[in-house]
Amino acid sequence: MENKLTRQRLRGRGDFTRIQRQGQSIKISEWLLLSFLRKDEGVLRVGWTIPRYVGTAVTRNRLKRWLREDLKLYLSEARVFGFDANFVFLNRGLAFYKGLSHEKVNQTIFKAIKKFETMGSARP
């Protein structure tokens, strides 16, 4: 069962700018960038940046919904703590995101969570 205290959302602009300035970034795929900042606390906080160039509100909301579903699925089983993470959708054009499947998003999020697990296990 997922503990609500182990997964929280990034909310304020300050959270996102701190990750951008002080954190690291990994290009997970040709369309998704993962920016993150390690913390001493055992809380994983997640946010996403889905700009208007990704598509209409319907497309952006669908991507957000898929991201929430996939994160909930994987983080309920994964042991990932002590990170602030921001998933940034890169400019690939309207048609690309409109045709993007849930399966492709799911695979990419799984790849990102696996990276977090390996980085977290390397902690002292």
What's the CATH number where 88 sits?
3.30.230.10
Is residue 38 situated within a structural domain? yes
102-121 and 57-75 helices cross at what angle (nearest 10)? 40
Is residue 120 situated within a structural domain? no
Nearest-angstrom CA–CA distance, 93 and 101: 15
Nearest-angstrom CA–CA distance, 80 and 4: 14
Any idea which of 42-51, 53-62, 113-122 has the lowest mean pLDDT? 113-122
Is residue 17 situated within a structural domain? yes
Is residue 122 situated within a structural domain? no
Is residue 109 situated within a structural domain? yes
Please, what sign has the CA dihedral across residues 88, 76, 63, 58?
Answer: negative
Nearest-angstrom CA–CA distance, 34 and 26: 5
Q: What is the pTM of this model?
A: 0.82
Q: Which residues pair with 7 in a beta bridge?
A: 44
Is residue 21 situated within a structural domain? yes
With 50 as the cut, is the pLDDT of residue 5 above it?
no
Confidence class of residue 2 from pLDDT cuts 50, 70 and 90?
very low
Phi and psi (nearest 5°) for 9? -100, 150
Residue 37 is part of which domain span?
4-113
pLDDT, tens digit, 9 for 90 and up, residues 104-115:
999 999 888 888
Q: Domain tally for the chain?
A: 1
